[in-house]
């Protein structure tokens, strides 16, 4: 019998999962339950996990193909699988509020779905928290599935056939200039606005900060619709905020959730979290370049 205990965090989505050590050999039955829980709860928090980068990467591979971290890949062509979230360097040095990397990461305070700007967006992101601020630094999650479920029928019909251009340079250049090689590696891509979970048939829409425009619509009409959908998804009844504890191992489903950082005082606190992502299985209908530009 399974040892996994799954306790829902919120009516709409999210669960706390105990009774499994993700750093060890995860039994196929437990892995199956975790996969089912991802489909059902979208956000899974496993407290008190004993983790290392090697163990995290091994677990990531159990869920699928690890995604190359796009900043390093874009700038240098080197494939690495980890992103550091927070303000602590590999050598342990802390970066403060004025640091360029801290500033760059404020872009994560815009609601987004990780890698929605890639031709193949990510399935899940996986974060292990090593050091967390004593105050602030929570991550908020919003369910576009729960928001889709309560959309007025007429809006559902409007959005059903639409596509959306997602563009990293569009979303991030207002925060900080995007390195030219990085920008060149991420041309705009197009995805369906409405997605469906293949396992349970539940639908959601798919927007966020990287969502730039709707092909065939004027800029202003695109903006109005995308902003309206974002606003609906981020109402309190569709949001779960996770206050990190050291040892938390969190998996979220980028196919249907948005998330954002809520900020913290980097001069005062250390925050060190390591992130991996798993490649999704849905390719955007039109790859990047001029063809994707409406
Ligand atoms: C992320 C992210 C926001 C935060 O890890 O992908 O967007 O909490 N994090 O800093
Ligand atoms: Mn993110």
For residue 199, tell me if it sits in a domain. yes
For residue 140, tell me if it sits in a domain. yes
Query: Residue 125 CA: which ligand 1 atom is closest?
Result: 6
Q: Best substitution site from 102, 105, 118, 257 to test ligand 1's pocket, by max atoms within 8 Å of Cβ? A: 105
pLDDT in tens, 232-260: 999 999 999 999 999 999 999 999 999 99
How many whole angstroms from 108 Cα to the centroid of ligand 1? 6
119 contacts: CB under 8 Å, gap ≥ 6? 189, 283, 284, 287, 288
Q: Looking at residue 71, which CATH number applies to its domain?
A: 3.60.130.10
For residue 9, tell me if it sits in a domain. yes
For residue 291, tell me if it sits in a domain. no
For residue 293, tell me if it sits in a domain. no
Q: Whose CA is nearest to atom 9 of ligand 1?
A: 261
Residue 140: phi, psi to the nearest 5?
-100, 140
For residue 287, tell me if it sits in a domain. no
How many whole angstroms from 260 Cα to the centroid of ligand 1? 6
Q: Are the C-beta atoms of residues 171 and 212 closer than 8 Å to each other? A: yes
What percentage of the chain carries pLDDT values higher than 70? 96
Q: What residues have a C-beta under 5 A from ligand 2, the ion?
A: 114
What pLDDT does 232 receive? 98
Number of domains in the chain: 1
For residue 288, tell me if it sits in a domain. no
Q: The domain containing residue 106 runs over which residues?
A: 5-280
pLDDT-derived band at 292 (thresholds 50, 70, 90) equals very low
pLDDT in tens, 78-125: 999 999 999 999 999 999 999 999 999 999 999 999 999 999 999 999
Asked whether the predicted pLDDT for residue 151 surpasses 50, the reply is: yes
pLDDT-derived band at 61 (thresholds 50, 70, 90) equals very high
pLDDT in tens, 189-230: 999 999 999 999 999 999 999 999 999 999 999 999 999 999
Query: Residue 271 CA: which ligand 1 atom is closest?
Result: 10
Q: Alpha-carbon distance 33 to 233, whole Å?
A: 27
Mean pLDDT value of segment 270-280? 98
Query: Residue 138 CA: which ligand 1 atom is closest?
Result: 8
Query: Residue 86 CA: which ligand 1 atom is closest?
Result: 10
Q: Which of 156, 170, 153, 271 is nearest to 211 (CA)?
A: 170
How many whole angstroms from 218 Cα to the centroid of ligand 1? 31
For residue 286, tell me if it sits in a domain. no
Q: What is the mean pLDDT of the chain?
A: 95
């Amino acid at each position: 019998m399974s040892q996994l205990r799954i306790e829902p965090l919120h009516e709409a989505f999210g669960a706390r999962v105990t009774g499994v050590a993700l750093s060890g050999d995860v039994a196929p039955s437990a892995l199956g339950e975790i996969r089912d829980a991802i489909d059902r709860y979208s956000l899974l928090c496993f407290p008190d996990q004993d983790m290392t980068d090697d163990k995290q990467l091994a677990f990531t591979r159990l869920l699928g193909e690890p995604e190359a971290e796009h900043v390093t890949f874009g700038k240098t062509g080197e494939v690495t699988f980890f992103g550091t979230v927070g303000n602590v360097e590999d050598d342990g040095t802390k970066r403060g509020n004025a640091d360029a990397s801290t500033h760059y990461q404020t872009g994560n305070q815009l609601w987004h779905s990780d890698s929605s700007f890639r031709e193949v967006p990510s399935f899940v992101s996986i974060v292990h928290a090593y050091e967390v601020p004593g105050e602030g630094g929570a991550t908020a999650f919003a369910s576009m599935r729960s928001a889709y479920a309560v959309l007025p029928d007429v809006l559902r019909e409007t959005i059903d056939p639409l596509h959306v251009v997602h563009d990293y340079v569009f979303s991030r250049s207002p925060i900080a200039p995007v390195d030219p090689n990085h920008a060149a590696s991420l041309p705009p891509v197009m995805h369906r606005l409405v997605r469906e979970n293949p396992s349970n048939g539940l639908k959601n829409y798919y927007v966020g900060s990287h969502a730039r425009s709707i092909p065939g619509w004027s800029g202003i009409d695109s903006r109005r619709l995308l902003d309206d959908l974002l606003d609906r998804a981020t109402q309190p009844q569709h949001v779960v905020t996770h206050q990190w504890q050291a040892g938390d191992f969190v998996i979220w489903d980028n196919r249907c959730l948005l998330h954002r950082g809520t900020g913290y005082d980097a001069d005062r606190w250390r925050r060190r979290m390591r992130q991996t992502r798993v490649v999704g299985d849905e390719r955007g209908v039109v790859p990047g370049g001029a063809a994707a530009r409406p």
